[in-house]
Amino acid sequence: MDNENKPSAAARRQFLADTARMACGVGLLGLGVGLYARHARALPPAAIRPPGALPETEFSAACIRCGLCVRDCPFDILHLAKPEEPISTGTPYFVARQVPCEMCEDIPCVKACPTGALDHFLKDINKSKMGLAVLVDHETCLNFLGLRCDICYRVCPVIDKAITLDRQVNARTGRHTHFIPVVHSDHCTGCGKCEKACPTEVASIKVFPLYMAKGQLSSHYRLGWVEKEKAGGSLVAPDVEHRYNLPEGMKYESGKGLSPSVPSAPAPASPPGSGSGLPRALQGSKL
Amino acid sequence: MPAKPGAEAVAAKGWLPAHKWLLLRRSSQIGILLLFLVGPWFGIWIVKGNLNFSYTLNFLPLTDPYVILQSLLARQLPETLALFGVTIVVLFYLLVGGRAYCSWVCPVNLLTDFAYWLRVRLGIKGSAHISRPTRYWMLAMTLVLAAVTGSIAWEMVNPVSMMHRGLIFGLGLAWTVLLAVFLFDLFVMRHGWCGHLCPVGAFYSLIGKLAVVRVRLPARAACNDCMDCFAVCPEPQVIRPALKAIGGTPPVILEANCTNCGRCIDVCSKDVFAFGTRFGNTVVPVAGVPQAAPINLQSRPGSPS
């Protein structure tokens, strides 16, 4: 505490230097914390937020890390992230492969949230989007191998809507059916029951955060068949009857395959000027 | 230093009266922590949550205004319940003194007080120097960070919430951060974290600028300059103006960084100090010095005036 009546030039210099020192030191610390916080924004794929969680950028601003959602979860599935975990410290998450969300009808975790980090407008748990199940590994999925595992389909709380079994020919045997589990994003809540129940050593179906799991068509894309249905008919030109580009004198029937159509007409000679006997693809300049 | 600070007071008043506020304070700190812990430990849910937001008996919401301020700066509005909680907490600390949070509630205080106690016991002299107002730079930094990153970035590293949340929900590696704070206070800087750097304390000191409950010095004339109060005070700079009537300061500690810990009351053998309110200052000092605020500002160390 120097005499404060008339700060001398030296005192003023000292004050400015001290201020600069503090500002720089604190600024450096702030820079570190800020960069760290930005890194933590990328939610790791195994961490699923509770139902109704805002998108990650908004969530990290709204969640005050109080843990009320953790407390009010009747199944104790939620954890608060510890500092060493690659998730924003203190924020709630669950790991589907460990314990999935039970999808309580009254959604107590959302009700408990004091900040709206879990959106209070979510009233119907079936509308929640915690993540999206993706059948990530076609090589290990038992149904893809031709077995009737079906577990993910059976345990799904939104059975026949979120996961359906689509039948395909088993080309390996030629006579069996593949029951391929197909996830439908408009119904899947990301609860993680399928991932939890998947019997393969490492789950073949996994729940990912939406930003990882979901693709998006470009905005200018139009699905022709949808547009056609909307318009009640073809939009470009009258539909032409489809014709197969078959070798001359052959016909194609579903099931039977190719067969000679009429026993006549010798094959036409190759057109003049077609040059050497090279395949056509190799003749032109363009390939 | 002649004897252990407070020895005189123990001799004059007896051990218990010379430790009254310390014991009450420790009971408060540990008691509050236990209230939070009996839920997860024994399934008795009196209080849910942590110091950022807690819900007592599904009735009383208490919200940390500092974390809500950061959330607002990150452009998110809390639910009504949390805003009620903020109001209650702000009003409470306007009454009992903002930094009473630090000395009566915050769990880190147990840690840093222990570090200080050990520092004295081990006779560790010397301390790095950072000015005490650095905490306000820290506070400003955390708020700017919230606005710039659009997230409550400080909560990722805040040792205060990390400790409290950790004790209740699982520490993980948070103990390393707490150990760092402890070692920093023990070896690097006396009262380093709570007294110089912690932005949470800085925030609550701002609430405390107008707080009602303050330490008064009804018997400052009886002071025998034993310096015990300075030795135990975590913010010793707050005592001098009021004790020595510098610049006509009334006999009440109005400095916002007084934590209302009451340890000065304990260790004073002459009973110079007592808890009281900030009001009624015209009685003891010279009449005509009713205003405390400008005096208070002047006496602030490091202010350029």
In tens, the pLDDT along B130-151 reads 888 889 989 999 999 999 888 8
Residue B302, pLDDT > 60, answer no
What pLDDT does A278 receive? 54
Q: Where does chain B have alpha helices with state H?
A: 7-13, 20-42, 65-73, 80-96, 100, 108-121, 134-149, 159-169, 174-183, 192, 199-207, 228-232, 239-243, 263-267, 293-298
Domain closes at, from A97, A130, A163:
A130
Amino acid at B100: A
Give the tens place of pLDDT for each residue, A147-184.
Answer: 999 999 999 999 999 999 999 998 888 888 999 999 99
The tokens for A276 are 């050497």
The residue that leads in pLDDT, A73 or B292, is A73
- What residue in A sits closest to B85 (Cα-Cα)? A114
The residue that leads in pLDDT, B80 or A142, is A142
Q: In DSSP terms, which residues pair with A72 in a beta bridge?
A: none
* Nearest to B142, CA basis, from A226, A58, A182, A34: A34
Residue A284, pLDDT > 70, answer no
Do the bridges between strand A47-48 and strand A92-95 make them parallel or antiparallel, or are there none, so unpaired? antiparallel
Give the tens place of pLDDT for each residue, A48-66.
Answer: 999 999 988 888 889 999 9
Residues 84 through 103 of chain B touching chain A, CB cutoff 8 Å: 85
Q: Is B7 on the interface with A (CB under 8 A)?
A: no
What angle is formed at CA B194 by the lines to CA B263 and CA B187, rounded to 5 degrees? 100
Residue B293, pLDDT > 50, answer no
What pLDDT does A196 receive? 94
Give the tens place of pLDDT for each residue, B151-210.
Answer: 888 988 899 998 999 998 888 888 998 999 999 988 888 888 999 999 999 999 998 888
CA dist A30 and A98 (Å) reads 36
Give the tens place of pLDDT for each residue, A116-139.
Answer: 899 989 889 999 999 999 999 999
* One domain, residues A49 and A111: yes
Contacts of A79 (CB under 8 A, 6+ apart): A70, A92, A93, A94, B169, B170
What pLDDT does A134 receive? 94
C-beta atoms surrounding B210 within 10 Å: 13
* One domain, residues A53 and A70: yes
Q: What band does B105 get if pLDDT is binned at 50, 70 and 90?
A: very high
Task: Say how many CA atoms lie within 13 Å of A24 toward its Cβ.
Answer: 6
Q: Is the ipTM of this complex over 0.85?
A: no
CA dist A28 and A26 (Å) reads 5
What pLDDT does A277 receive? 52
Contacts of B69 (CB under 8 A, 6+ apart): B143, B146, B203
Query: How would you class A135 by CB atoms within 10 Å of its CB: exposed for 0-12, middle for 13-18, buried for 19 or more?
Result: buried
User: Which of B61, B64, B137 has the CB atom closest to A22's CB atom?
Assistant: B137
Q: Is B155 on the interface with A (CB under 8 A)?
A: yes
Residue with tokens 């812990």: B37
Mean per-residue pLDDT over chain A, rounded: 84
What's phi and psi for B224, nearest 5 deg?
Answer: -110, 20
Q: Is B305 on the interface with A (CB under 8 A)?
A: yes
Q: Reduce the DSSP state of residue A258 to 3 states and report it.
A: strand
Question: How much of chain A is in helix, strand and coil states, percent to nearest 5?
Answer: 25, 15, 60
CA dist A219 and A231 (Å) reads 19
CA dist B259 and B202 (Å) reads 11
Residue A239 located in a structural domain = no
Inter-chain touch A33–B156, beta carbons under 8 Å:
yes
What angle is formed at CA A162 by the lines to CA A161 and CA A166, rounded to 5 degrees? 75
Q: Where does B192-251 have alpha helices with state H?
A: 192, 199-207, 228-232, 239-243
Residue A250 located in a structural domain = no
Answer for the pair A75, A64: CB distance below 8 angstroms, yes or no. Answer: no
What pLDDT does A280 receive? 53
Residue A94 located in a structural domain = yes
The residue that leads in pLDDT, B281 or A112, is A112
% chain B with pLDDT above 70: 91
* One domain, residues A122 and A153: no
A:B CB pairs within 8 Å: 166
Residue A22 located in a structural domain = no
Mean per-residue pLDDT over chain B, rounded: 84
CA dist B186 and B190 (Å) reads 7
What angle is formed at CA A235 by the lines to CA A231 and CA A236, rounded to 5 degrees? 180
The tokens for B46 are 């009196």
Provide the domain limits for residue A123: 33-130
Residue A50 belongs to a domain with what CATH number?
3.30.70
The residue that leads in pLDDT, A277 or B145, is B145
Tell me the shortest Cα–Cα distance from A228 to chain B, in angstroms.
Answer: 44
C-beta atoms surrounding B80 within 10 Å: 10
What's phi and psi for A165, nearest 5 deg?
Answer: -105, 115
What pLDDT does A239 receive? 67
Domain closes at, from A197, A213, A229:
A213
What pLDDT does B268 receive? 87
C-beta atoms surrounding B140 within 10 Å: 15
CA dist B21 and B12 (Å) reads 16
- What residue in A sits closest to B145 (Cα-Cα)? A34
CA dist A159 and A42 (Å) reads 31
Inter-chain touch B55–A68, beta carbons under 8 Å:
yes
Residue A270 located in a structural domain = no
Residues 180 through 239 of chain B touching chain A, CB cutoff 8 Å: none
Give the tens place of pLDDT for each residue, B27-75.
Answer: 999 999 999 999 889 888 889 988 899 998 888 899 999 999 999 998 8
Residue A203 belongs to a domain with what CATH number?
3.30.70.20
C-beta atoms surrounding A186 within 10 Å: 7
The tokens for A91 are 């924020």
* One domain, residues A54 and A84: yes
What pLDDT does A6 receive? 65
CA dist B51 and B163 (Å) reads 10
% chain A with pLDDT above 90: 43
* One domain, residues A177 and A209: yes
Q: Is A259 on the interface with B (CB under 8 A)?
A: no
Mean pLDDT of B17-26: 91
Domain closes at, from A161, A190, A213:
A213
CA distances in angstroms from B36 to B41, B192, B225, listed in the order given: 9, 27, 42
* One domain, residues A74 and A123: yes
Total domains, chain A: 2
Among A12-26, B59-73, B117-131, B232-246, the range with the most confident prediction by mean pLDDT is B59-73
Inter-chain touch B151–A23, beta carbons under 8 Å:
no
